[in-house]
Chain A
Amino acid sequence: MTNDTANGPGIRLPWAGKLVRIEEIEQTLTSLWSMSHDNLRTGANINVRTSVLNLVICTPDLETAQLASKVLRDLSSTHLARVAIVALDSNEPVPSISAWVTLRCFSMISDLMRHCFEQTTLLTKGSATRAAGNILQPLLKPDLPVYLWWLGDPPDQDDPTFHNLVDLSNRIIFDSTSFFAPEQDIRTLAALCKAAPDSALSDLNWGRLTSWRELVIQFFDVPEYRPYLSGIQSIEIEHAAAPLAAPGRTDEGDVSPNPTRALLLAAWLKERLGWPLSAHTANNHHDTASGSYHWEMQRMANQRVAQLASPRTKSGRLGSRPGSITIRPKVRSEMRPGSIVLVRLVSIADNKEAIFTISRDADLDHVYTSVELEQETRQKRIVSLTTQHKESDLLRDELEITGHDYLYEQTLQEVADLLDAER
């Protein structure tokens, strides 16, 4: 039996709204809407009820829940219908459930018109956390998809709370940049992806890579450079690390080193190029503590890449030469750990070398791209990446996707395979 803290004085959470009993949630929301309509009648504003999706946010504590609640301020354009923030505190010995409700409205074009969505905040303690899925069921708007944003490390697959939440969700969103044990956690994600094929999986860190992937792709949109795609021999990626003596959290709470972004980028390229791991593993290197890796690869390009090779290369030794992927940390105190610092692709086509580089220096808002052909450097350019990193932007992008992001899910499996490769 659980204690309902709403019976007593309860916790006051001004940001979460009114403390209510679970059974009073719907009624309270109705009365909040009614008050909002009164505002409409008095001409104060027009509140627009939006209804595209349910968003469930799971956090380990109320402090994180409040931070997540702040992010929602920028998300009203996704037409959230109802948000349920669930703080899961399973360490408390006494089971209890507390609930708060509020109607959140944000200005659209002017103060005259505002987007509104309903927000319920639940604090579940002790064994009540296991019932979170059941408690949420009646609180979700019918006929609308459910997106689950899980903050923190992914739980074990057999975690009953998580299992129930996954069952009611159409999409599960993580952020691997905050994983405390990045390698282990990414393996857990890959396993989850296989175990719950009906739920689409997302990672905000994959979104952070979008601009980088686009820049890599753009190199080979140039027809002249396309043959170099099949000639890529080495892939080097550097990720920012904090100047810490040992792996751990920075003062800002970031985990360092966190090579997940670099791993995802490397795995995406490996998959696109169709490279299998080489049987020669003597030079392979895998250091979890520093976040540095090296894999020898077999350059057996798949058909879609092989057709890009020049005739001379095709008739020659495609597939007989080795390739490699190297990931290493770079101490950059001004950047958040895990940020990509450098991507370099070295390629040879028709005996000509080309180096494709994307790099970032102290200017955090821009990256530099260049193509170095033998004896000349061409197409240096500066690209703005300013708008790509806000958590709310990344989350909004994920909330706009309705189906599976198969490329991400495929890449995730590739990362797991790379991490499990023989050293």
Chain B
Amino acid sequence: MPQRSAVEAPNPLREGIRIKNSPEPCVMVIFGATGDLTHRKLLPALYNLALEHPLPAGFSVVAFARRSYTDEQFRQQALDSINEYSRQKPVNPQVWENFAAGIHYLQADFNDPKGYEKLNNLLNLLDQERGTGGNRIYYLSTPPSQYPEIIQRLGAAGLNRSRKGWTRIIVEKPFGHDLTSAKELNRQVGKVFKEDQVYRIDHYLGKETVQNILVFRLANGIFEPVWNRRYVDHVQITVAENIGLEGRSGYYEESGAIRDMVQNHVLQLLSLVAMEPPITFDANAVRDEKVKVLHALQPLTGQDVVTNMIRAQYGPGWVSGQQVVAYRQEPGVSPSSMTETYLAMKVFIDSWRWAGVPFYLRTGKHLPKRVTEIAIQFKQAPLMLFKRSEAYGQVEPNVLTLRIQPDEGISLKFGAKVPGTEMQIRSVNMDFFYGSSGFREQPEAYERLLLDCMLGDSTLFTRRDEVEAAWTFIQGILDEWRHEPAETIQTYESGSWGPQAADEFIWRDGRRWRRP
């Protein structure tokens, strides 16, 4: 049997260690490196990885953008951003100096072939000087409209493959703005890169507590047997924001809550909660199961869109002590905008496990607080023994809540007897606080995901068929909305939990929204 070459063989020093994996030296090329995402998230995440040193010596960044800067000017901007946004402050000067030495700025237009030639030369130089071994990651941090151009140019310049080493591309959400554009984007990416080179990033999946959903479900023997239609009454998924547009009116007007939150974050959470156990914990096995959930979503079409969905826009009000204007009065928003800032919907999953169990999903801006949680409400006990006692009517259903943010953890609500001679029952919460915030800082989602990409682990990234399956479900809704009159958009007071119609919508089913 031929032996593997030294380059392919794993590093034997890594065997048996309990320290984090360290990736091979590589270059990360960030397209759109002068943008907000790069400065708020990517550079701080890379710096933190360098500080906690899973990043290898020689790791380099090429910042590719249109504005004219020198290496030094860009490094200074990067330092300012890291000082402002990094979770580790102040910046360690020695580590920064070392990290900054690997940052290079390349000024070029995304549609200029010469820019890609310069990039090719720079990458080859870095391979020689910093030992990056032909390993490249391209990060698309530009507006999505630039993706096709950049991808096509990378292919034309032969930068989609390395003669040695590996090449990967990270595509930021949104992955398209509807099913057709998502398919087209996937087709264009697929023409240049193989699917195993493509890492579609949804930062929600990098959150520790999102990953914990699978551990909680599948590493414990007691939950999975009750995780089905026999025991679960319904599931509520809430992704609430207290912020408004934050200067992104142009983007939000086009996307609305359905594209901004539901198509990606909410459906990802739904998939993780509802999926079947994968046969192994590897990237494709997990994603195979997630995509089955998306395929099994009962399409919302025709009258279902009216009866099973509420969409709304925020009006004026008070949020977090600040007076805020209505959505249509926001700068950059059309006074007759039909864009929804709130969405509540009821969906069903047509599978043996979940048939008939409603999943209530809601998301919105200018809600009372920022919170993301999944609540599984169980059915009542089959026989109520306490109905003749004082306890009658006091027994509430059990609720298991997975809190994703901000107070990451798990709560189980159950009934307990209030001490005393009377038979009084009160619901109590048994809380588990995940991560014990405050003492050991958890890595940011981007740190985890960037490191995973460098290591070639795509488990927490979205696969092509997942994206398309999610858009297939969403497209049905978008198509219906086109035919709906403007009056179907409700208004809710900023700082409230949504419009009255959303409450009535769930009351009709004999249920109520949780107050997270």
Besides the known contacts A229-B11, A308-B12, A381-B98, 14 further A-B residue pairs in the complex with CB atoms under 8 A apart = A108-B437, A211-B53, A213-B19, A214-B53, A215-B53, A217-B11, A217-B22, A229-B13, A307-B4, A309-B6, A366-B94, A366-B95, A405-B18, A407-B17
Q: Which residues of B contact A379 (CB under 8 A)?
A: 57-58, 130-131
The complex places the Cα of A216 from the Cα of B12 at a distance, in Å, of: 12
Task: Give the residues from 349 to 392 in chain A that come closer than 8 angstroms, CB to CB, to chain B.
Answer: 363, 365-366, 369, 371, 378-379, 381-384, 386
| B1-21 vs A, Cβ < 8 Å mask (1 yes, 0 no) | 001101101011111111110
Is B330 engaged at the interface, CB distance under 8 Å to the other chain?
no
List 10 A-B residue pairs with CB atoms under 8 Å apart, sorted by A's residue number.
A48-B433, A77-B436, A213-B19, A214-B20, A214-B22, A217-B22, A221-B24, A222-B25, A227-B6, A381-B57
Q: Which residues of A contact B130 (CB under 8 A)?
A: 379
Q: Which residues of A contact B499 (CB under 8 A)?
A: none
Chain B residues in the interface with A (C-beta under 8 A) = 3-4, 6-7, 9, 11-20, 22-25, 51, 53-54, 56-58, 92, 94-95, 97-98, 130-131, 133, 407, 431, 433, 435-440
* Contact B436 A307, beta carbon cutoff 8 Å: no
Q: Which residues of B contact A309 (CB under 8 A)?
A: 6
The complex places the Cα of A309 from the Cα of B92 at a distance, in Å, of: 38
* Contact A109 B437, beta carbon cutoff 8 Å: yes
> Least Cβ distance of A174 to chain B in Å?
17
* Contact A396 B440, beta carbon cutoff 8 Å: yes
* Contact B95 A384, beta carbon cutoff 8 Å: yes
Contact of B95 among A217, A302, A383, A405 (CB under 8 A): A383
Is A224 engaged at the interface, CB distance under 8 Å to the other chain?
yes
The complex places the Cα of A215 from the Cα of B13 at a distance, in Å, of: 11
* Contact A216 B13, beta carbon cutoff 8 Å: yes
Q: Most chain-B Cβ atoms within 10 A of its Cβ — which of A215, A216, A222, A366?
A: A222
Q: Which residue of A lies closest to B128 (CB)?
A: A378
The complex places the Cα of A220 from the Cα of B13 at a distance, in Å, of: 8
Count A/B pairs, Cβ under 8 Å.
Answer: 131
Task: Give the residues from 275 to 311 in chain A that come closer than 8 angstroms, CB to CB, to chain B.
Answer: 302, 304-305, 307-310
The complex places the Cα of A210 from the Cα of B440 at a distance, in Å, of: 17
* Contact B25 A384, beta carbon cutoff 8 Å: no
* Contact B436 A308, beta carbon cutoff 8 Å: no
* Contact B56 A210, beta carbon cutoff 8 Å: no
Q: Which residues of B contact A371 (CB under 8 A)?
A: 57
Q: Which residue of B lies closest to A310 (CB)?
A: B6
* Contact A217 B98, beta carbon cutoff 8 Å: no
Q: Which residues of A contact B4 (CB under 8 A)?
A: 307
Q: Which residue of A lies closest to B406 (CB)?
A: A109
Shortest 5 CB-CB distances between A and B: which pairs? A77-B436, A77-B439, A407-B16, A223-B7, A304-B12
Q: Which residues of A contact B24 (CB under 8 A)?
A: 221-223
> Least Cβ distance of A269 to chain B in Å?
8
Task: Give the residues from 90 to 135 in chain A that come closer than 8 angstroms, CB to CB, to chain B.
Answer: 107-109, 113, 115
Is A21 engaged at the interface, CB distance under 8 Å to the other chain?
no
Contact of A307 among B3, B16, B95, B431 (CB under 8 A): B3
Is A218 engaged at the interface, CB distance under 8 Å to the other chain?
yes
- Asked, given contacts A74-B439, A384-B92, A406-B16, whether A221 binds B9 with beta carbons under 8 Å apart, the answer is no
* Contact B12 A272, beta carbon cutoff 8 Å: yes
* Contact A221 B437, beta carbon cutoff 8 Å: no
Q: Which residues of B contact A115 (CB under 8 A)?
A: 436
- Asked, given contacts A221-B24, A378-B131, A384-B94, whether A226 binds B7 with beta carbons under 8 Å apart, the answer is yes
> Least Cβ distance of B146 to chain A in Å?
33
* Contact A76 B131, beta carbon cutoff 8 Å: no
- Asked, given contacts A310-B6, A366-B94, whether A384 binds B53 with beta carbons under 8 Å apart, the answer is yes
Q: Which residues of B contact A229 (CB under 8 A)?
A: 11-13
The complex places the Cα of A366 from the Cα of B93 at a distance, in Å, of: 11
Q: Which residue of B lies closest to A75 (CB)?
A: B439
The complex places the Cα of A287 from the Cα of B255 at a distance, in Å, of: 73
The complex places the Cα of A200 from the Cα of B433 at a distance, in Å, of: 27
Is A163 engaged at the interface, CB distance under 8 Å to the other chain?
no
Is A13 engaged at the interface, CB distance under 8 Å to the other chain?
no
Q: Which residue of A lies closest to B58 (CB)?
A: A379
Q: Which residue of B lies closest to A385 (CB)?
A: B53
- Asked, given contacts A366-B94, A384-B92, whether A48 binds B438 with beta carbons under 8 Å apart, the answer is no
Q: Which residue of B lies closest to A301 (CB)?
A: B12
> Least Cβ distance of B218 to chain A in Å?
18
- Asked, given contacts A109-B437, A304-B12, whether A218 binds B6 with beta carbons under 8 Å apart, the answer is no
The complex places the Cα of A225 from the Cα of B12 at a distance, in Å, of: 13
* Contact A218 B22, beta carbon cutoff 8 Å: yes
The complex places the Cα of A18 from the Cα of B318 at a distance, in Å, of: 50
Q: Which residues of B contact A11 (CB under 8 A)?
A: none
Q: Which residue of A lies closest to B95 (CB)?
A: A384
Q: Which residues of B contact A410 (CB under 8 A)?
A: 16
Contact of A221 among B17, B25, B95, B440 (CB under 8 A): B25
> Least Cβ distance of A214 to chain B in Å?
5
The complex places the Cα of A371 from the Cα of B58 at a distance, in Å, of: 11
The complex places the Cα of A213 from the Cα of B13 at a distance, in Å, of: 9
The complex places the Cα of A381 from the Cα of B431 at a distance, in Å, of: 45
Task: Give the residues from 311 to 369 in chain A that come closer than 8 angstroms, CB to CB, to chain B.
Answer: 363, 365-366, 369
Q: Which residues of B contact A366 (CB under 8 A)?
A: 94-95
- Asked, given contacts A108-B438, A378-B131, whether A222 binds B56 with beta carbons under 8 Å apart, the answer is yes
Q: Which residues of A contact B51 (CB under 8 A)?
A: 384
